[in-house]
Amino acid sequence: MRAWLPAVILLCGLWATRLPALGGLPLHNDEGLHLTRAVEVWNLHPFWVISDGKIINHWPIAALYPQNAPVYAGRLPTLLIAVLGFAAGYALMRARFGAAAAVLGGVLWIASPYLLFFERLALSDAEAGALVVVALWASLRLAQSGARRAALLTGAAFGAAALFKFTALPFALMIALVVLLLAVYPLRRRLELLIITAAAAAACFIVPVAYIVVTGRDFFTIALGWVSSGAGGASIAANIARLVDPLFGFGTVVWAVALLAGLAALVITRPRVGGVLVLAVGLPLISMIVLGREVLPRHFVVALPVMLILAGAGLAALIAQVPSRQWRAVVAVAVLLVLSVAFLRFAAVLYRSPGDAPLPTQIRTQYITEHSGGFGLREAVIGLPNTLDRPDLPIIASMFPDGCRRANFYAEHSLRLTCTDAPGLPQIEAALADHGAVYVLVDTAPHIGADVPQTAPSLAATAVQIGVYPRPGEDAATASVTLWLLTRD
């Protein structure tokens, strides 16, 4: 039991660092989509929209009943699945490289600001990444045992990762390389077991594919377009930039330096096993960069957990080169302290004021300053009970439908927005005709929502602005989200 005490402590540390202020960031656009799909599960539509290659990621959300406390119901499954992947990674490292490697890999996972950010969101990338770790653990057991049940387990683990998001598909290479290069039994047996593994993974897709065929739905066009398209030189360079930026853009480079140094050290000190594992993880990552049309920072998260645990093994191998046992302990403690201090400085800002957290440019744009991030919109909807003098009037959302549905997860039932296709002028005009007045919540006028002051005269209405909701970096004069009362003249 004492041997596994560090694992218990680290698992508690993972939970303790991901849970605080879980609702601090407003729901991102993709989170709103996943919550909407989870609600549809309760309407008996388990595969409501899966053309983007996210087939079952919304099922764990549905299990927590997202109609109540949707932010927590959406985000807690990401943490729960991360715990599963973390436990598999710890067991893998401890069995292959020793307790020190397992501890350092676990600390690197916890201390990564990149993972901290995405493991607190209702997105499928971190979930698929955690399940890739489970698939690696299972594939190493398969390479060691040569048992058919291990092949079935490996196929099921990989199938689950791919069902959560298709960005896990390149990691089929990982499983193949691990079995082909690390197994000790004959090649014919390895190929046989890989066929069983592939069959088990393919079986995971029978039901969703049958659903698509029977219902005539879109056959993963969005996802397959991303996976199969050749990127070209300019796209490859852009994909590399989108990978490098998050490594060094979270206000601290300590964890990224430890990651890269650990991977290099693992190849140098353990070329037989470590070199194969780094190659097995590196090739899928390279394939994403080369074949991906536009690989966003969140997509790389599918490869990050497994890279971090391998880097922990490399750091442990480096520290083992220190001749004195006493000095090895000093170096290990120093590494842990440096990683922890740098992480806590970032985490403290993320918990207290996520809009001010040091983030890579593209992540800040997508999750903080643009309409997809939800700042301003959340504050507007939460404040409606104290803002509206006439709560009986309809509230038209002059924005993209996805933004409206996401906002309604924060709204009181009696004050839910009426969703439209932006800018929603026909609905605004109809509400004016029926009620003589209407509230209009506008997001990012005039590019998405209506420019109400310019539009009101054509509707024979008077417009009064009754609320402004700036995003981080904006003020009242430049606020992207505004609330208006239109009254028929």
Where in 174-239 does DSSP place strands (E)?
none
Q: Compute the distance between CA of residue 441 and CA of residue 429 in angstroms, rounded to an integer.
A: 14
Local confidence band at 220 (pLDDT 50, 70, 90 cut-offs): confident
Residues in a beta bridge with 461: 488
Q: Hey, what are 424's tokens? A: 């929603």
Q: What is the mean pLDDT of residues 387-392?
A: 94
449-452-453-459 Cα dihedral, nearest 10 degrees: 140
Burial of 62 (0-12, 13-18, 19+ CB in 10 A): buried
Full DSSP string of 269-304: H-TTHHHHHHHHHHHHHHHHHHH-SS--TTGGGGTH
Q: What is the pLDDT of residues 320-355, one digit of tens each?
A: 999 888 888 999 999 999 999 999 999 999 999 999
For residue 363 the two structure tokens come to 């992540």
pLDDT of residue 255: 96
In this prediction, residue 235 carries a pLDDT of 82
Both tokens assigned to 427: 């609905």
Q: What is the pTM of this model?
A: 0.94
> Given pLDDT bands bounded at 50, 70 and 90, which one contains residue 225?
low
Confidence of residue 232 (pLDDT cuts 50, 70, 90): low
Q: 229 pLDDT exceeds 60?
A: no
Q: Given this model, what pLDDT does residue 226 score? A: 66
pLDDT digits (tens, 9 = 90+) for 3-58: 789 999 999 999 999 999 999 999 999 999 999 999 999 999 999 888 888 999 99
Q: Which residues 6+ apart lie within 8 Å of 244 measured at CB? A: none
Reported as a single tens digit per residue, the pLDDT across 136-190 is: 999 999 999 999 999 999 999 999 999 999 999 999 999 999 999 999 999 999 9
- Per-residue pLDDT for 476 more than 80? yes
Give the whole-number percent of the chain exceeding pLDDT 70.
97
Task: Give the pLDDT of residue 294.
Answer: 82
Tell me how far apart the alpha carbons of residues 441 and 346 are, in angstroms, rounded to a whole number: 34
Please report the pLDDT score of residue 325 as a whole number: 87
Render 348-412 in DSSP notation, one character per residue. HHHHH-GGGS---HHHHIIIIISGGG-TTHHHHHHTHHHH-S-TTS-EEEES-HHHHHHHHTTS-
Q: How many residues does the chain have?
A: 489
| pLDDT tens readout for residues 358-374 | 999 999 999 999 999 99
